[in-house]
Copies of this chain bind each other. A is one copy, B any other.
């Protein structure tokens, strides 16, 4: 009754057929030649025993598993991340593939090794992998599938850059020319922050604006005011701030309020993400709203399409981003 797991041999015995028959039936073999009554006997036996095929056996037999490994950067994950995982899990499940998430924390088994051990079908990643990992995976014949490519604007970093550009577009349209960029303190966020920052700088360069001043917003609330004060002192001509995201923006907003700097007349401010709390600040925050579910579905679809070898990925990225003008600009 402790019951080791039932194997296909158990099912075969229970159904009174050979193991091969069981395998053919349960896999719906393409050129199947199994009579209907037999099929049903097998299926019933499998159900009765609660049979689940051993991935190990199957993997060994056909050389690769049904596992797709999603490589996540070592960064704090938010709502978008979990929705993305969710969406990818669904899409892959529909194709009979199982998603396994690997968080690239420093002490975890390194990605290529884990991928090899699991005999994965492919490695999916939102961001370009380190060259060494890429090389190691390629050497072992493991496919690496990026969520999207630079050329079609589907890459995660392209999406992030576009968010930065949209911040600048809005501020410039409102007449600002001297901008600053507010970075988050957590270094692990740089995978997201760098592309957004790049987008801002590119958009400025294209308009012949000066390079935005940069400052880091500390995690410690009491340290925020000094950081904002320093910016105001170092770059007095700045009239608008692009924040890495809404959280950073709200921290900056707090600092400005404490320093009695009026928003938006003396200083404009814009965030990214459109988190619920952005609507509740005083004044409410202008932001680039990212539709999390849609973005996640979009990235998931792009990734899964690439996995399937599909080169045509139609979804335009504008759909998932839009400006939410409120009172800080």
Counting every copy of the chain, the complex holds 2
Given contacts A55-B118, A59-B56, contact A139 B79 (CB under 8 A): no
Q: Which of B57, B83, B89 contacts A108 (CB 8 A)?
A: B89
**Residues A36-88 near B (CB distance < 8 A):** 50, 52-57, 59-60, 65, 76-79, 81-83, 85-86
Binary CB contact string for chain A from 281 to 317 against chain B (1 if under 8 A, 0 otherwise): 1100000000000000000000000000000000000
Given contacts A77-B81, A141-B2, A280-B253, contact A52 B113 (CB under 8 A): yes
Which residues of chain B come closer than 8 Å to A279, judged between CB atoms? Answer: 221, 254
Asked if A250 lies at the interface with its beta carbon under 8 angstroms from chain B, I say yes
Find out whether the CB atom of B65 lies under 8 angstroms from the CB atom of A56: yes
**Chain A residues within CB distance 8 Å of chain B:** 2-5, 50, 52-57, 59-60, 65, 76-79, 81-83, 85-86, 89-90, 93-94, 98-101, 103, 105, 107-109, 112-114, 116-119, 136, 139-141, 219, 221, 247, 250-251, 253-254, 257, 276-277, 279-282
A-B contact pairs, 17 of them (CB 8 A): A3-B141, A52-B113, A55-B117, A55-B118, A56-B59, A56-B119, A57-B60, A76-B82, A77-B77, A81-B82, A89-B103, A90-B105, A90-B108, A98-B108, A101-B103, A221-B279, A281-B281
Given contacts A77-B77, A100-B100, A109-B93, contact A53 B221 (CB under 8 A): no
Which residues of chain B come closer than 8 Å to A2, judged between CB atoms? Answer: 141
Cα of A3 to Cα of B112 in the assembled complex, Å: 14
Find out whether the CB atom of B82 lies under 8 angstroms from the CB atom of A79: no
